[in-house]
Structure 1
Amino acid sequence: TPQPMEVRTSPYPTRYRLDEPAIELLNHANVFCRDGLDIGTRAFLPHLPKNLGTARVADLGCGNGVLAIASALDNPQAHYTLVDESFMAVQSAAENWQATLGDRDVRIQAGDGLEMQEPDSLDVVLCNPPFHQQQV
């Protein structure tokens, strides 16, 4: 007689909370820092620019979007573009942006760096390079 199959559930998405800014982040599979902030991001967060006014800001290699989201909380009039090569990262960033900032206007896209960005169309680029991967 056949044995019932064990139904396994995915451990993803994962979630964790930050104290500053006070937000919860969701991370789909294979997104960097899916279990908590890395040391680079943790060090970068307190130094994000403030008082950006209506600046055009990109988060290059956005991952789950934490840098852009933290920046956007302090810069309510700035305009954000989040880019990552990973579709899972882009989905994580989109869900985190929606959960934290609601319907605030944002552009989130999968792509190769800023190749889709028009020249001279940004004022600030946030980037915590993935020093942990491949040849970076």
Structure 2
Amino acid sequence: MVASHAHDPAWLDAFAAAVDRYRAGNSLARTMRAWGGSQAEAARLFGVSRQAVGKWLRNGPPVERAIALADLAAATDLLLHYLKPDRIPAVVRRPVPALGGLSLTDLLTRGDTAALLDACRDMFAFERVST
């Protein structure tokens, strides 16, 4: 299919954009599954409607959400790497003393995905643990 359009840069650009949107939507769906959240909960956490989240899942999220969703996907990757999947929903909802009693979902609700990613990195910074 792509080979037949190799001479059409506009088609190739549109195809690449569609693939990027699909991957971004898949990343959000993967995060929602890992965090044990529904579409309605994701909407609450992002401060948007359930329909908006559905649109993001189908068509990819809006560009202005790209950095936040990349941070969230990276944090989810860490959680999936170091924790059993069935533990993640409880971990992301549990208040963390190092975060002033906030949970990872609280950080997401505040829109502070950079702090969320930093918190996940800190959780698994085993090199700082003394023996």
Q: TM-score range by the shorter chain?
A: under 0.3
TM-score by length of 2: 0.24
Bigger fraction of residues in strand: 1
TM-score by length of 1: 0.23
Bigger fraction of residues in helix: 2
Give the structure with higher Rg (CA).
2
